[in-house]
Amino acid sequence: MSTPPSPVNPNLPPDHVTVFIDGQELAAPKGSMIIMAADKAGIPVPRFCYHEKLPIAANCRMCMVDTEMGGRMAPKPSPACATPVADGMKIFTRNDRALKFQRDVMEFLLINHPLDCPICDQGGECELQDVSVGYGRSVSRYSERKRVVADEDMGPLVATEMTRCIQCTRCIRFTADIAGTYELGGMQRGENLQIGTYDGKPLTTELSGNVIDVCPVGALTNKVFQFRARPWELVARASIGYHDAMGSNLFLHAKRGEVLRAVPRDNELVNECWLSDRDRYSHQGLYAEDRATSPMVKDANGEWRDVSWDQAFEAAAAILEKHAGDDLGVLAHPSTSNEEGELLVRMANALGTGHLDHRIQARDLGDGAQAEAFGMSIADFESADHIVIVGSNIRHELPLLHQRIRKAVARGAKVHVVNPVDFEFTFEVAQKSIVAPSRMAAVLSGLNIEAANMPVVLLGHVAESSAYASELRAAARAFATRTHAKLCRVPQGANAVGLARAGVLPSGKDALQMLLEPRKAYVIYGIEPGLDFADPGLAGRALGPAKVISFSHYACASTRAAADVILPIALLPELEATLTNLQGDVQGTEPSGKLPGLAREGWRVLRALGGGLGWQGFTFNDLAGLRAGFETRATSLNSGGALSNGQGGLEVATTDAIYRVDAVTRRAQALQAHPLTREAEVTMNPVTAAAAGLVEGAIAKLRTGAGTAALPVRLDAAVAQGVAWVERGYGATTPLATSHAEVGAA
């Protein structure tokens, strides 16, 4: 029921009241806080504990203001973050009384704060520094010893200096209310209050780096960035995350061309003001020892030698001129930019081959499926009332979409799960079916949801990369039609939607068929052959005898083994490019890091190669010229193939290890040291393991059509019986790119 019109201003919108802040008349929603009205009007109110995305705590008291109602001044100061507006209220943020309140609180907060700004990583971008300039005293009246708080190790990502902590509790509220992991809390009382973990263990949330952003002092800082630079030495460039299809907006901060850190860039429609740890810390991988920095050619003796760009182009041209048309396959990584994808299409057309694909991680393309934008926006997930998650560890696949679903559940949404593993989510699941991959489609077909106004069905990586993917996609579409649900298939790659729209898809053989029926030559773009394919063993057998040109970020062992020519290209933080995220937004990046050695932007390398060979569509001189010729292609796909798998033994369920999803994250040292990065292992239900004669920690030998893997066993009742769960991204698990495995003790 709406409130009656404001007696102060009858023309206000419904449910609004009139307030006066420092003499300025404002309309504010009824029930909102003073600080919200002030922020909306651009009136500064100092604060430490208040954050617009966190629950109100009102414990720093820095936002004290003077208030007047009905001609009477309030006898005590009012915290602006926790005082609701009232019709006709007069608020004073800068009168003598308000300033005295604020200065007194500032003095109190500085009593125990150490004067170590010169060595604090937060120096120069510290909220406490900024506010103390305006509200602090020039001379301290406090002469007693300052309190010292012992630090604890919060893991490889977050550095601590808890003596600096002012107990604003922002970090506690973030881990509790946003991340949902409840890993931080206040211990002891009064002047002995300390913020820390309850168990002394590292933070395990996949969003832990956000506590650095919300911390208003230098108590929690970026451990990877620690002591590397001062904020004023850094150059900020707009960029986006490229390790999942969310396309989180961020800034990359570089010093002398070296990317030193990533921080979130606000975008309410995508990542709000948050960033996943994967996107925040992956920049370490840019500077791995095996980064490709020079063109390389394999000589007649199989030895690699560095060559000039002209020599590399000459070697590549010789391969392409000899093996064009049906002899050639072109394979691109699904995080390849739109511009590079467009040129790969032009290359394939110029060479007369229809064997072009980016779906290198799929095991079943029988229905010719390609990536498509979500049926609803990211922000709309918060308003969904029934969310059906099928074949997805959404918390690891899309950490910030998982966080949106958590908000939906807090508002009353019901989550239904169909998975081979009872993955750990930070929200309550109303209904779950934990079954083998072969049964998931049948379970989904029989699932009923009642009284759904805004249902959504989410098909994730476990489903899309499964040997039963075609069946699961058909079941998801049928379910969406039957229940009027929005269908959201998680794109398998940061730019899978963009590459599908650009036409990086086959009119001939798809990615699987190109490997099952090997070509005489291949162009592989941005791919680490030993780990990026759905079946790296199959890829190795196909690429090994062929002539291979690799446009590569890294000159790793598997690339050297497969390729004949390596052309070093830029990673996304080093070039201007666009990617298309899972809701169809085309988002751009600016170059932030300096290119290593002789490496060049991929579009420049393709332009030089194609221009030298006289290909059509390669006469442009810059990105503007390239983009002027962009097309959105509707590719007519042949029904694709599927990997042939044996049907005996355990069913294999595979997920991507959260910090080993691509070549860059696999080389980020801090992410590899994180507790979420486990050793390669196979996880089974205790009942399944007992039937195979296996115990916790034993070495299991798993035999598949793709090879044999020997992995330590971990027991977990969360895994469906008859299922072996493994994480991709490890060399030891590559033989398990299959649907079934025979298992026994090693």
- What dotted CATH number matches 145-287? 3.30.70.20
The predicted structure's pLDDT at residue 70: 87
Is residue 216 exposed (0-12), middle (13-18) or buried (19+ Cβ within 10 Å)? buried
Percent of the chain scored above 70 by pLDDT?
97
Phi, psi of 396 (to 5 degrees): -95, -30
Report whether pLDDT(348) > 60.
yes
- Report the C-alpha gap between 443 and 445 in whole angstroms: 5
The predicted structure's pLDDT at residue 62: 95
Region 109-132: what's the mean pLDDT?
Answer: 91
376-421 pLDDT, tens digit per residue, is 999 999 999 999 999 999 999 999 999 999 999 999 999 999 999 9
Report whether pLDDT(743) > 90.
no
How many helices, marked H, and strands, marked E, lie in the chain? 21, 33
Cβ atoms of residues 746 and 699 within 8 Å: yes
Report whether pLDDT(51) > 50.
yes
Pick from 643, 469, 638: nearest CA to 539: 643
Which residues touch 303 (CB under 8 Å, ≥6 apart)? none
Continuous segment of H or E residues that includes residue 16:
strand 16-21
Report whether pLDDT(35) > 80.
yes
Report whether pLDDT(31) > 70.
yes
- What dotted CATH number matches 16-109? 3.10.20.740
Cβ atoms of residues 710 and 728 within 8 Å: no
Region 280-307: what's the mean pLDDT?
Answer: 96
Report whether pLDDT(14) > 90.
no
Report residue 40 as tokens: 């909306």
Report residue 33 as tokens: 């806080």
Region 351-355: what's the mean pLDDT?
Answer: 96
Do 16-109 and 650-745 show the same overall fold? no
- Report the C-alpha gap between 165 and 109 in whole angstroms: 10
Assign 745 a pLDDT band (cuts: 50, 70, 90): confident
Which residues touch 313 (CB under 8 Å, ≥6 apart)? 608, 609, 612
Assign 189 a pLDDT band (cuts: 50, 70, 90): confident
Q: How many CB atoms lie within 10 A of CB 446?
A: 10
Report residue 356 as tokens: 């072009």
For residue 699, CA distances in Å to 695, 742, 745 come to: 9, 14, 6
- What dotted CATH number matches 650-745? 2.40.40.20
Cβ atoms of residues 568 and 552 within 8 Å: yes
The predicted structure's pLDDT at residue 565: 98
Is residue 400 exposed (0-12), middle (13-18) or buried (19+ Cβ within 10 Å)? buried
Residue 704 β-bridge partners: 707
691-738 pLDDT, tens digit per residue, is 999 999 999 999 987 789 999 999 999 999 999 999 999 999 998 888
- What dotted CATH number matches 379-489? 3.40.228.10
Assign 423 a pLDDT band (cuts: 50, 70, 90): very high
Assign 200 a pLDDT band (cuts: 50, 70, 90): confident
Output the CA torsion sign for 246, 249, 253, 258: positive
Task: Please give the single-letter amino acid code of residue 52.
Answer: E
Question: Is the model more confident about 706 or about 195?
Answer: 195
Cβ atoms of residues 318 and 612 within 8 Å: no
Give residue limits of the domains in the chain: 16-109, 145-287, 296-367+496-628, 379-489, 650-745
Assign 219 a pLDDT band (cuts: 50, 70, 90): very high
Region 520-527: what's the mean pLDDT?
Answer: 98
Mean pLDDT over all residues of the chain? 93
DSSP H helices in 84-126: 96-109
The CATH class given to the 296-367+496-628 domain equals alpha beta
Which residues touch 669 (CB under 8 Å, ≥6 apart)? 156, 284
- Report the C-alpha gap between 401 and 485 in whole angstroms: 18
Assign 646 a pLDDT band (cuts: 50, 70, 90): low
The predicted structure's pLDDT at residue 1: 43
- Report the C-alpha gap between 550 and 563 in whole angstroms: 6
The predicted structure's pLDDT at residue 512: 95
Pick from 458, 492, 415, 519: nearest CA to 662: 492
